[in-house]
Structures are given as C-alpha cells and as structure tokens.
C-alpha cells in the first residue's frame, strides 16, 4: 500500500472521529450545526490535519507600515538607518557638542527641536536618506569592470557607495542643524548690544559649529572618493541647499512666505487647472549641475512648491542616487533615471509631511505649519483673498492667525490637490523602479513608497 493511500485513510478516520465527537456535543443544535460541520470537514481534508492546523490558515496581508518597511530595508543592505548612531555620537567632537547642548535645556532655542527630530526616528522624520542611496545602489548593481576590492559582497554595494550614503546623511543633517540658527536682531538694529540673550547666543554658536563640523567632514569624505564628476555633482546639491534659504519672501527669522498668486487664464471656478505635463521637471532634461531657473515659478502653486523643495531636499537625494549609479559605472541614461527617482521620492515624502497638519478639523493651540506647504499654496491660487492674512507675517510669522489659515485651507481644494500631487510623484518614482530588474532592494524601495501613503 502506498504512503499517499495510507495518509488519505488516516485523514478520513480523523474526520470521521471529529464528526462523531461534534455530534455528541452539539446534538441538540439540530440542522444549524451542519454548515459548520461541513466547513470543518473541508479544512481537515485540505490541510490533512484537522483542527490543530487552524493556526496555519492564511492571515490577511498587513497594511503597509513605514517603520516595518524601513526595518526590512535595513536588513537588506546590512546597515542602520541613521549613521548618527555609531561614528558620530562616539566621536569626541560630537560628545562635546552634546555636553554643551544640555545647557540649552529649558530654553526655547530651535536647535533643541532639531536635535529631538534627529534623535526621534518616528513617522514624521525621514532619517533614511542614506538607506535609500544604498537600496538604489543594490537594486541597480554595478558594471563588471568594477574591481573586486571595491565591492562589499555581503551587502551587495560598493565601498564608495556606502561612503556616499554617509556623506548624504551628513550634508542633510548639517542643513537641518544650520536651520536652527536664530536672528537675534532686526536689520535696523544690527550691531547693537545683544543684552541678556546668552542662551540664544550660545545656542547659535552650537548650531553653527556642529553644522559646520558635519558639512566639513562630508566634504572631506567626498574628496576622498577621488571622483571629479561626483564631487561636482554633490557640490551642486550643496549649492542648491544654500539657495533654498534665499528664494521668495521671508520674515525676519528667515521663515518662508508664499508668493502672491498669479492671475492665470486657466483659472476656473474650482481652482486652477492641472499643471501641464513636464511643468515641474526641474533638472530632468538639462545638465542638472547648473542652477535652476526661477522664471515663471513664483506665484504658480505647483511649480513654486516643487522648486522650493527640490532645492531644499530633492536635489540632494536625487543627485546622491545619481552619484551612486555613477560610482557603479552605469550608463548616463540610467544615472539620470536615478536622479529622477530620488527627486520624485523626496517630493512625494514632502507632500505627505505637508498634509499632516490638515488631517484634523481643528489646529491644536500653539501648533504652526509651513506657509509654503502644498495645501496653502493651492488654496491661495483658489482664493487669493487669504493672501491678506499672509502679508501680516512680513515682519514675523507669529503675527499670522494660523487657526484662520488652517480653517480656510480645510474648506478649499488644497488638501485634495496635495493628495493628487503626492500620488503623482509616488507613481513617477515607482515608474523608475519598474525599469529595474526584480530584487529584494527594489521591493524594499517599493514598500517604502507605498508606506508613505499610510502615514
């Protein structure tokens, strides 16, 4: 007798015993118990093991989760998400900075908020830029001409690509720390005695020195890669970061203010028409080491939003992904696709961040949001009368009634158009990934993009 036949007979015997035991217990239940009995019998025959195999039944597919997506991606490249954890925090220089930073506890210096954002790696913070660069590096692979000594075969990336990922993290962190500087005096009072603002002065010194330290180390490591085209590419990203702090109107603390909306023939009762195809492809069709043009941008909601955040974040991530493919000696066409992926991924993430304050009906007391976020810019194009409230912040954004602006934007098309914008850039990033061969790294990048939509 074959094993298959013996196994089938054992299964039928177990099913029969199960039927008898259930009938004894549920005899009083009558016909209502029959459907349940039939389902138990079918599961027993299919699984070959009866009730003990209920635990092996398929579970529903879990919802995409940001932390889970990042955690699984880290395992693929064999490197932690934040490079701050080991080399930086254990260095003497950063240890001294942390010691001095404790003196600011209790003050209202913005550097404390920046430090908290960097240390707390929650859903509101994308401390995964180096991880993105490594995943792109592994998903694309490298040319056969790359020497074996350059390869980290356990992680599937090059040593130079790992160094570039660390450089990207350092430049990004330096930018965030430098944004914690506070203007202590207005322009008409510049040069006068500062008085008793000792905590603020001290905080400015720490923000300036720590940011410069990180940026200086990033430049040193970049030069150590000994790749002139890569140095030029990443240097242009640092230039874009600096330029992002000077475009458009700003208050005396350098907080950005939206530009006055333009009158456009495409204006309709429901708001502006969608931007024409290719309208926000900054750096896609030209040499992206050249400065981006401001012509026809300010006052146009989608173009202004895109340019601000490409300069402030997208350029660095996009050019880092492009540089990773450059180090792998991939074709120029594929390098440009890498830039587009990083740029669109950054813009999709920024749209998620912009939507967060408008996820509730009422703005909590003391909470502020970016006045150049996509929902606000889209609403100004829909209802330019709100710009009168924005103009109150020319001296300081504290003069603006954020509750009023929040309530007005919620009633308009801004949040919905931002969701469309987020979907647009997510799909553009996924389109680039679809051109790559299937791999764990590509799947991890896809999961990260999908997890953004559930934040």
The answer to whether position 301 is within a domain reads: yes
Cα–Cα distance for residue pair 407/178, rounded to 1 Å: 32
The answer to whether position 268 is within a domain reads: no
Cα–Cα distance for residue pair 137/135, rounded to 1 Å: 5
Whole-model pTM?
A: 0.75
The answer to whether position 174 is within a domain reads: yes
Supply the pLDDT for residue 285: 60
Cα–Cα distance for residue pair 310/314, rounded to 1 Å: 4
Range from 100-109, 136-145, 291-300 carrying the lowest mean pLDDT: 100-109
Q: Which two tokens stand for residue 298?
A: 């300010």
Q: Please tell me which residue, 445 or 16, carries the higher pLDDT value.
A: 445
The answer to whether position 9 is within a domain reads: no
- pLDDT-based confidence at residue 299 (cuts at 50, 70, 90): confident
Q: How many domains does the chain have?
A: 1
Segment 112-156, tens digit of pLDDT: 556 555 544 444 445 578 889 999 999 998 888 887 767 766 667
Segment 164-192, tens digit of pLDDT: 998 998 898 888 888 878 777 665 555 55
Average pLDDT over residues 193-206: 69
Exposure string over 177-204, b if 16+ CB within 10 A, otherwise e: bbbbbbeeeeeeeeeeeeeeeeebebbb
Cα–Cα distance for residue pair 250/393, rounded to 1 Å: 9
Q: What percent of the chain has pLDDT over 70?
A: 64
Range of the structural domain that residue 84 is part of:
66-184+197-263+284-454
Q: Please tell me which residue, 113 or 320, carries the higher pLDDT value.
A: 320
The answer to whether position 52 is within a domain reads: no
Label residue 278 exposed, middle or buried (CB < 10 Å: 0-12, 13-18, 19+): exposed
The answer to whether position 423 is within a domain reads: yes
Q: Please tell me which residue, 51 or 245, carries the higher pLDDT value.
A: 245
The answer to whether position 237 is within a domain reads: yes
CB neighbours of residue 250 within 10 Å? 16
Q: Can you give the CATH number for the domain in which 350 is found?
A: 1.10.600.10
Q: Please tell me which residue, 2 or 374, carries the higher pLDDT value.
A: 374
The answer to whether position 48 is within a domain reads: no
């Amino acid at each position: 007798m074959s094993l298959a036949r013996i196994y089938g007979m054992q299964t039928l015997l177990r099913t029969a015993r199960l039927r008898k035991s259930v009938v004894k217990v549920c005899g009083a239940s009558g016909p209502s118990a029959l459907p349940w009995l039939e389902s138990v019998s079918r599961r027993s025959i299919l699984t070959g093991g009866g009730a003990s195999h209920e635990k092996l039944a398929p579970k529903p597919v879990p919802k995409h989760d940001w932390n889970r997506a990042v955690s699984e991606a880290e395992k693929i490249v064999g490197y932690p998400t934040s490079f701050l954890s080991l080399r930086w925090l254990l260095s003497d220089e950063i240890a001294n900075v942390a010691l001095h930073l404790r003196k600011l506890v209790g003050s209202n210096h913005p550097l404390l908020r920046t430090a908290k954002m960097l240390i707390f790696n929650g859903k509101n913070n994308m401390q995964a830029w180096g991880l993105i660069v490594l995943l792109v590096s592994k998903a694309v692979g490298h040319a056969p001409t790359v020497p074996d000594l350059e390869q980290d075969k356990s992680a599937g990336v090059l040593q130079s690509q790992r160094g570039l990922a660390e450089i990207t993290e350092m430049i990004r962190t330096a930018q965030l720390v430098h944004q914690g500087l506070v203007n202590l005096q207005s322009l008409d009072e510049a040069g006068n005695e500062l008085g008793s603002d000792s905590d603020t002065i001290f905080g400015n010194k720490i923000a300036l020195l720590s940011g410069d330290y990180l940026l200086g180390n990033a430049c040193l490591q970049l030069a150590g890669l000994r790749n002139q085209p890569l140095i030029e590419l990443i240097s242009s990203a640092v230039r874009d970061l600096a330029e992002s702090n000077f475009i458009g109107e700003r208050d005396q603390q350098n907080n950005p203010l939206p530009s006055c909306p333009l009158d456009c023939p495409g204006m309709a009762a429901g708001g502006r028409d969608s931007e024409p195809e290719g309208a926000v492809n900054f750096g896609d069709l030209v040499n992206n080491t050249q400065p981006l043009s401001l012509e026809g941008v300010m006052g146009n909601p989608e173009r202004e939003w895109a340019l601000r955040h490409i300069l402030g974040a997208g350029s660095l991530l996009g050019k880092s992904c492009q540089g990773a493919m450059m180090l792998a000696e991939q074709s120029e066409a594929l390098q440009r696709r890498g830039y587009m992926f990083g740029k669109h991924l950054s813009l999709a993430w920024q749209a998620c961040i912009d939507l967060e304050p408008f996820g509730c009906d009422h703005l909590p007391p003391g909470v502020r949001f970016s006045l150049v976020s996509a929902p606000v810019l889209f609403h100004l194009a829909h209802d330019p009368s709100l710009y009168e409230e924005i103009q109150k912040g020319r001296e300081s954004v504290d003069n603006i009634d954020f509750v009023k602006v929040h309530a007005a934007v919620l009633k308009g098309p801004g949040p919905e158009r931002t969701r469309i914008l987020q979907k647009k850039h997510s799909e553009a990033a996924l389109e680039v990934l679809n051109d790559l061969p299937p791999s764990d790294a590509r799947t991890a990048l896809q999961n990260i993009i999908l997890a953004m939509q559930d934040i």
